[in-house]
Amino acid sequence: MTSKLPSHGGAEQFIHFLQHELKPLIAKEYRTNGTETLIGQSLGGLLATEILYNHSALFNHYLIISPSLWWDDEALLKSQFKPNHPPKSVYIAVGKEGHVMERVAKELYKQLAHSLKDKSQVKFQFFSEHEHGDTLHLAVYDAFKDIDYAR
């Protein structure tokens, strides 16, 4: 895989940056209401899932669109999801993107719906008319429309 994607890794450093630099800067410079939503698509969806699995308290809403959970032989899906702080909501979406992408997104939904039952709002949306490149905007719109931010 490194021949196709020679520059990979660094997730922990980026997560550290989000937690210790970016989020404090935003809190200092802007009025916020405590609602913190992470949106990730494709490899960004993989990162958003990793943050949810390993640093769940960083955000209270997760929008995971077309996540590339096939990465590293689906290692993240094979790991146990035991959040230290359940999010308020998780929205997962995928388009008509082929068997693997659709399967891993559905598997993620099943795992989270089971683990977060009665703790979080978990939703899955399949966009049968859209592909990898055009699912993001519709999914984000759909998520913002459907997520109960008052929860």
Report the pLDDT value the prediction gives residue 5, as an integer from 0 to 100: 56
| pLDDT band per the 50, 70, 90 thresholds, residue 38 | very high
Q: pLDDT-derived band of residue 9, with 50, 70 and 90 as boundaries?
A: confident
Rg of the chain taking only CA atoms, in angstroms: 15
Closest CA to 101 of 18, 43, 50: 43
Average pLDDT of the residues in 60-69: 96
- The pairs formed by 11-19 with CB atoms below 8 angstroms and a separation of 24 or more are 11/47, 11/50, 14/47, 15/50, 15/51, 15/54, 15/55, 15/58, 18/51, 18/58, 19/55, 19/58
Q: How confident is the model at residue 82 (pLDDT cuts 50, 70, 90)?
A: confident
